[in-house]
Amino acid sequence: MKKKAVFLDRDGTINRDVGYPRSFHSIEVFSYSFEAVRKLNEAGLLTVIVTNQSGIGRGLIQEKALRDIHQRLEASFAQHHAHFDGIYYCPHYLFSPDPEYRDDCQCRKPNPGMALKAVKDLNIDTKKSYMVGDKVEDILFGLNIQARPILCLTGFGQESLPKLKEKGVELAYVAKTLLDAVDWILQEEKNDSPDQT
Nearer to Zn ion, 108 or 148 (CB): 108
Contact between 5 and 126 (Cβ < 8 Å): yes
Regarding 107 and contact with Zn ion (CB under 5 A), the answer is yes
134 interface partner picked from Mg ion, Zn ion, none, CB below 5 to 8 A per type: Mg ion
**Which residue lies nearer to Zn ion by CB, 54 or 154?**
54
Q: How far apart are CA 55 and CA 63, in angstroms?
A: 9
- Which partner in Mg ion, Zn ion, none is near 105 (CB below 5 to 8 A by kind)? Zn ion
Q: With respect to Zn ion, which residue has the nearer C-beta, 77 or 141?
A: 141
CB 133 within 8 A of CB 167: no
Q: How far is the CB of 147 from Zn ion (least distance, A)?
A: 19
Residue ranges of E strands in the chain: 5-8, 46-52, 86-90, 130-133, 148-152, 173-175
Q: Give the nearer residue to Zn ion in terms of CB position, either 105 or 174.
A: 105
Instruction: Choose the stretch contacting Zn ion; rule: CB under 5 A; options: 3-11, 21-29, 91-99, 163-171.
Output: 91-99
* Residue ranges that bind Mg ion, judged by CB under 5 A: 9, 11-12, 134, 155
9 is known as an active-site residue:
yes
Q: Which stretch binds Zn ion (CB under 5 A): 27-35, 67-75, 106-114, 133-141?
A: 106-114
Pairwise CA distance, residues 132 & 49, whole Å: 10
In the complex with Zn ion, the residue whose CB is nearer, 90 or 147, is 90
CA 93 to CA 12: how far, in whole Å? Answer: 20
CB atoms within 10 A of CB 188: 14
C-alpha distances in Å from residue 93, one per residue of 52, 55, 104, 109, 151: 10, 8, 7, 12, 25
Helix (H/G/I), strand (E/B), else coil: 83? coil
Shortest spacing between CB 175 and Zn ion, in angstroms: 26
Rounded to whole angstroms, the Cα distance separating 146 from 126 reads 6
Using rule CB under 5 A, residue 92 touches Zn ion: yes
Contacts of 68 (CB under 8 A, 6+ apart): 23, 24
Which does residue 85 bind out of Mg ion, Zn ion, none, counting CB within 5 to 8 angstroms by kind? none
* Residue from the set 10, 70, 108, 135 that interacts with Zn ion by CB under 5 A: 108
Site residues for Zn ion per CB under 5 A: 90, 92, 105, 107-108
Catalytic residues: 9, 11
